[in-house]
A = this chain, B = another copy of it.
Amino acid sequence: MQDSSKIALEEKLIPQLQFEKRGGLLPVIVQEYDSGQILMLGYANEEAFNYTLKSKKATFWSTSRNELWTKGETSGNYLQMKNIMVDCDQDAIIYQVELMGSGVCHTFDQQGENRKACFYRSYDIDEKKLKFIEGME
Contacts and interface: CB of A to CB of B under 8 A. Distances in A.
Contacts of A128: 15, 53
A105 B88 contact: yes
Contacts of A15: 123, 128-130
A88 B108 CA distance: 10
Interface in A74-114: 81, 83-89, 92-94, 105-107
B81 A94 contact: no
Contacts of A68: none
A29 to B, nearest CB: 5
A118 B122 CA distance: 24
Contacts of A94: 38, 119
Contacts of A89: 118
Interface of A: 10-15, 27, 29, 31, 35-38, 40-41, 53, 56, 81, 83-89, 92-94, 105-107, 115, 118-123, 125, 128-131, 133
Given A84-B123, A85-B119, 16 more contacts: A10-B107, A12-B130, A27-B41, A35-B36, A56-B125, A83-B122, A84-B122, A84-B125, A85-B121, A85-B122, A86-B119, A88-B105, A88-B106, A88-B107, A88-B115, A93-B123
